[in-house]
Amino acid sequence: MKMNYSYGLRRGLPIALGYLSVAFGFGISAVEKGLSPIQAILISLTNLTSAGQVAGVDVMIALGGVLEMIVAQFIINLRYSLMGIALTQRLDKSFSNIHRFTVAFAITDENFVMAASEKEKITPSYMYGLITLPILGWTLGTALGAFSGELLPAGVRAALGLAIYSMFVAIIVPPARDSRPVMYAIIIASAMSSIIYYVPWLASHISSGFSVIICAVVASALMAWLRPVEERPEEDSNG
């Protein structure tokens, strides 16, 4: 099997099709919140993080500060750094630092899983092929959603704008079903978010960006303390 650009393109096509539909919802949601279509498209073109983009738009709309944006994006997207570190063990010798920095832009959950599943060493040309269509699909989907808002009725726009949140539900339900600590963390974060939103004093003093940060950190830290994941005994390397 050749780990070349064309093979990477074929592997990235299903991801691009999935991104196209999800980004359509982001484009509608971003414009509904007050961004222009061009602004929404530029966000998707220069970023490739659905949860980070949704949180980032909320921070911008709420006129949040730079520090708030940095902390929110750091927490939401920290997992991508871990994925990148994991992939370094699979790269071949032709992967220079320039290639690593460039490809790191498009490390997402789906791209990581696809690359990590390869049996051969990962080459730069394969990774460039793998990320090309997902980037285009994410940007094109955002553009279609952003500009369609001017053509669709308000009720349809509102319904389609919810599509981005259905993706988050699809992400959290499987691990919550398999792990009680994860389910409890989701419940705690959701309860805290509701309290912050509906209690007038908290809503007036805590912006939406910091609300995400507080809920995510407190819920995950609390469950890490109460229900830590048990370490698996290391397998004997000698068999």
According to DSSP, the residues that pair with 122 across neighbouring strands are 91
Q: Report d(CA 121, CA 198) in Å as an integer.
A: 51
The per-residue pLDDT for 110 is 85
The per-residue pLDDT for 24 is 87
The percent helix, strand, coil of the chain (3-state, each to 5) is: 75, 0, 20
DSSP-based three-state secondary structure for 198: helix
Q: Report d(CA 11, CA 114) in Å as an integer.
A: 7
The per-residue pLDDT for 237 is 41
What does residue 109 show for φ and ψ, rounded to 5 degrees? -55, -50
The per-residue pLDDT for 236 is 45
The b-or-e profile of 32-56 (16+ CB within 10 A means b, else e) is: beebebeebbebbeebbbbbbbbbb
CA distances from 239 to 145, 231, 234, 235 (A): 54, 19, 11, 8
The per-residue pLDDT for 235 is 43
The b-or-e profile of 148-178 (16+ CB within 10 A means b, else e) is: bbeeeeeeebeebbebbeebeeeebeeebee
pLDDT along the chain (239 residues), means of 10: 86 88 86 90 91 86 85 83 84 90 89 85 93 94 85 66 62 78 88 90 76 80 80 45
Q: What letter represents residue 145's amino acid?
A: G
The per-residue pLDDT for 120 is 87
CA distances from 138 to 30, 174, 199, 204 (A): 14, 24, 36, 34
